[in-house]
A and B are shown apart, each in its own frame.
Chain A
Amino acid sequence: MKDKYVTLTINGRKTTLVVEDRTTLLTALREYGVTSLKRGCEEGECGACTVIMNGLPQKSCLILVREAEGAEILTVEGLIKKGRLHPVQQAFIDEGAIQCGYCTPGMVMTTYALLSKNPSPEEEEIREALSGNICRCTGYLSIIRAVKKSADILSGKAKGGELREDD
């Protein structure tokens, strides 16, 4: 029975949702229309449902939405500013770090959180940070390239959105 209210900030907009006690943050966000995050395994293994909650990347299938009362939630929808993709999103496209796309929103959010904390990570740190996000298509190499490129764009070492020479 949906009879509980929870107020949280989703991508900068304060929102009140009507939920059940058992509703997970994943389900609540998707029903609200934030469908970038994906329902993968629902047991915290795959990372497809990753969101940033109060500054920390977390798996939304393991959180009840009522625990997010008052929380700030960020998803890839919130990274887009004035119709322009965020450099992390653009880098994933440029590096071909997407095949089926199912893991991508989670990968992007984990990358965003990593680079917010550590603007120029070593490859080992990138692999460690992404170890909770599973991709079954790319073999990860293009994703790691995309994270490095994101870091370069954000630190001003490279331009965002440009095509690679071999494209």
Chain B
Amino acid sequence: MRDFVLERPRSISQALEILKNHGEKAILKSGGTDVIVWLHKSLKEPDYLVDLTAIDQLRGIVMNDDNVEIRALVTLNQVIEDNAMNRYFPALVQACKAHSDPLIRNRATVVGNICAAVPSGDMIAPLMCYDAKVEIVGSRGIRKVPVSDFITGPKKTSLRQEEIVTGIRIAIPFVETSGCYLKAIRREALDIAQAAVCCTLHKGDSREFRIAFCAVSPRPLRAVEAEKLLNSSSVIDDSIIENAARLAADAVNPITDVRASREYRIDMIGELTKRAISICLRGPAEEGGPR
């Protein structure tokens, strides 16, 4: 690993100061489960590594009156073990469980997963379904960006130099809710999705389905047409589910790579969407789990 200077700021303002001083020569890290691998493999060779793990302001899952804040240092296991997250955001919890393995989940962070912005990032689809906002602090103040706008392409985000993602904010659904995250993988741990589907259902005055995908498009994607069909149908029978799955498969534009072919991915999106809708309809207690 090439040498670098490790900066360990104690506050957000210190971190911003360091970023301002070092500009492009610095990169940020939180859990480090991606960044340290990049350094080991010389995929990144920064002069300065700004480690955010000593900043107490970035810790914790904070419940507010109508929203929850997942701060930048919250690990996947902290989400999995949190009662409120299980109650309100089951699809996000399932996506956390589908990610890597229990040891890595003790370090890997939710925010880090979206900052890495790889199309196969497991946190992206659930955060799309829950319409999460990314909270960013820079020298010019705070801005809030929907996840869909934050990720601008494979490994690309709208985060500017001299900015830090401090957390993600999600509105709490005050209606009965169910959700699941289904991931097509070759082995049950430490595997990157061939394709995955996240589906959530809010059962308020009107029933609202949301569906998003993983690893089948360069940018985060919701199945808008499939959602419209489901949300406008008074009764959801097998033929509606079948049609919604077809609309979902039509919406994606995957590539062929080492993990799966384009054709396989499109087929899997159809199949997983079908299963995900059924699981959500069956109710909140249903455990979807990976495949």
Interface residue ranges, A against B (CB under 8 Å): 1, 4, 20-22, 24, 42-45, 47, 50, 56-59, 61-64, 66-67, 69, 110, 128-129, 131-133
Complex CA gap A67/B4 in Å reads: 15
Q: Is B190 an interface residue (CB 8 A)?
A: yes
Interface string of B1-35 (1 = CB under 8 A from A): 11111101000000000000000000000001100
Complex CA gap A59/B37 in Å reads: 12
Q: List which B88-117 residues lie within 8 A (CB) of chain A.
A: 100-104, 106-107
Contact A128 B103 (CB under 8 A): no
B188: A residues at CB distance < 8 A: 131
Given contacts A21-B49, A59-B104, contact A43 B41 (CB under 8 A): yes
CB distance from B51 to the nearest CB of A (A): 6
In-complex Cβ contact of A58 among B1, B100, B106, B190 (8 A): B106
Complex CA gap A58/B103 in Å reads: 5
Interface residue ranges, B against A (CB under 8 Å): 1-6, 8, 32-33, 36-37, 39-41, 49, 51, 53-54, 77, 100-104, 106-107, 188-190
A selection of 12 A-B contacts at a CB cut-off of 8 Å is: A20-B3, A22-B6, A42-B40, A56-B106, A57-B103, A61-B40, A62-B104, A63-B36, A64-B6, A131-B102, A132-B100, A132-B189
In-complex Cβ contact of B51 among A4, A20, A67, A131 (8 A): A67
Q: Which 3 A-B pairs have the closest CB atoms?
A: A132-B101, A131-B189, A21-B6
| Of listed B8, B77, B102, B189, residue having the most chain A CB within 10 A | B102
